[in-house]
Amino acid sequence: MIGQIAFILVLLITGGIAFKKYSTLRRNILLGKDEEISGDTGERIKNVVLIAFGQKKMFKRFIPALFHFFIYAAFMLTQIELIEIMIDGIFGTHRFFRNGLGGFYTFLISFIEILSVLALVATFIFLARRNLLKTPRLHMDEMSGWPKLDANLILIGELILVTCIFTMNGTDEVMHRNAGQGSYGFAISSGLGPAIFGGMSSGTLHVLERVGWWGHILMVFGFILYLPFSKHLHILLAFPNVFYSKLTSRGEMKNMPSIMNEVKSMMGLVEEDPNANQGEMEELPKFGANDIFDLSWKNILDAYTCTECGRCSSVCPANITGKKLSPRKIMMDVRDRAEEIGNNLDTNNLECVKEDKKEGTTKLTPDIYDDGKTLFDYISNEELHACTTCNACVEACPVTIDPLDIILQLRRHEILDLAAGPSDWTPMFTAIENGGAVWQMSDDRDKWTKE
């Protein structure tokens, strides 16, 4: 009974903290502008099945994808055993599903154990790749500090989790045999359990079984609470992110109607409205984005979904040739900025209120937020200018994140709102404005059509 009460208390506390943190996470994502998501729902579901569940894009690099799949499959199927642990913890039962499922239960736990061994092997390999082999894309500048520690913490947690699973199953196997009830018949622990724990007393076995059981569930609860601070949030967000990713061609850029109409008018492609300039002057539109509030919620969801795997940066031609741009860093910067704004909102930091709203304001809200910083304090112009808009990063991402869309929005703001940009781009803009082409020409662009 004491164990049940303790478990229920831990469950309720974990649930309460998790609800608060994940609600904050949702709030941070929705700091972005609304974005209309359209397209065939069937196609979106297909993408989720193939890309998010099926890991389709991961397997473009087969060996790391295979080891990742071991961990992923073990994680997914272990949830079945986790459900049983939850039921046992709440109702004080022991292996609740065993009597009802019979032989299938033995098969299921055996399959989970085999996957757990494969996940254990994969975990050691991933630790070696990060810390011994030092795979280049995992050791770029943006991966120093917390990102590196975060990855190692999760892998170490995986080792502890698997150890707890086999401690729980192995000691339970020995106690089951000692009680004269035969073997569970599990693929790994039926042999491993007696080999390691066979000579121990019943009291020691019971303590170790409880250590394994509680260690397993506490690691899971800890993982749930840790996820919002970690790149491993993609375990949850990859599925909605893939579902809401755009279905149009990757080379298709979002149009800006106000600019398009202006260019058409300049080129004589539309008739000007004689009444257009009459009446009051409309407020000038804001072009592109300079902060989280100007991006869409999907852009911010992309940032929180980023796995920090570095596949995008490893194929980026700008990054490969030594330029400062790293698409992964762009996504990490957007996430960090969203977190910074979210933390100020949570602490009601009134220093972040717009100057014209400070008087009488007692609560900081997104619509009056201004801390004097923007995304340009995180992302330099040099990074933005290096992008070739080739879409290699978008193609490489295993969870369909789109760093290019954010880069384009920041560049549009820099050029159209701030009238800034590289000096060597100015002749191109001038040529387009004067001649309708990116090259300087002595003749009109359409002269050939009149000959």
74-128 pLDDT, tens per residue?
A: 988 888 888 999 999 999 999 898 888 889 999 999 999 999 999 999 999 999 9
Calpha distance 111→173 (Å, rounded): 16
Any domain includes 276: no
> Residue 275: its pLDDT value, please?
58
Pair (74, 136) in one structural domain: yes
Residue 417's pLDDT band, with cuts at 50, 70 and 90, is confident
Task: Give the model confidence (pLDDT) of 113-166 as tens digits.
Answer: 999 999 999 999 999 999 999 999 999 999 999 999 999 999 999 999 999 999
Tens digits of per-residue pLDDT, 213-233? Answer: 999 999 999 999 999 999 999
Residue 134 structural domain: 2-244
- Does 48 fall in a domain? yes
Listed in sequence order, the residues at least 6 apart from 392 whose beta carbon sits closer than 8 Å to its beta carbon are 312, 315, 316, 317
- Name residues whose C-beta falls within 8 Å of residue 14's C-beta, 6 or more positions apart in sequence: 221, 224, 225
One-letter amino acid at 397 equals C
Do 23 and 152 belong to one domain? yes
Residues 229 and 83 in one domain: yes
Residue finishing a domain among 229, 244, 259: 244
- Fill in the DSSP letter of residue 387: -
- Residue range 173-193: average pLDDT? 92
If asked whether residues 22 and 155 sit together in one domain, one would say: yes
Separation of alpha carbons 177 and 200, rounded Å: 13
CB 32 within 8 A of CB 242: no
Within a domain: residue 270? no
Query: Cα 257 to the chain's mean position, in Å?
Result: 31
For 346-368, what is each residue's pLDDT tens digit?
A: 999 999 999 888 888 899 999 99
**19 and 96 within one domain:** yes
Answer whether residue 272 is part of any domain: no
Q: Quote the longest CA-to-CA distance of the chain.
A: 101
pLDDT in tens, 249-307: 877 877 777 777 777 776 667 665 555 555 454 566 788 899 999 999 999 999 999 99
- The three-class DSSP label of residue 327 is helix
In the three-class reduction of DSSP (H, G, I as helix; E, B as strand; rest coil), residue 277 is classed as coil
How far is it, in rounded angstroms, from Cα 332 to Cα 402? Answer: 13
Are 303 and 220 in the same domain? no
In this structure, the answer to whether residues 310 and 210 fall within a common structural domain is: no
Same domain, yes or no: 32 and 160: yes
| CATH code assigned at 417 | 1.10.1060
Q: For the whole model, what pTM was predicted?
A: 0.89
DSSP 8-state symbol, 49: I
Indicate whether 240 and 341 sit together in one domain. Answer: no
Which H helix or E strand runs over 252?
none
Across the range 42-68, mean pLDDT stands at 93
Percent of the chain whose predicted confidence (pLDDT) is above 90: 71
Query: Of 188, 218, 244, which closes a domain?
Result: 244
Does residue 131 share a domain with residue 217?
yes
- Which residue in 134, 153, 313 sits closest to 232, CA to CA? 153
DSSP bridge pairs for 10: none
Do 424 and 320 share a structural domain?
yes
What's the number of domains the chain is made of? 2
Per-residue pLDDT for 207 more than 80? yes
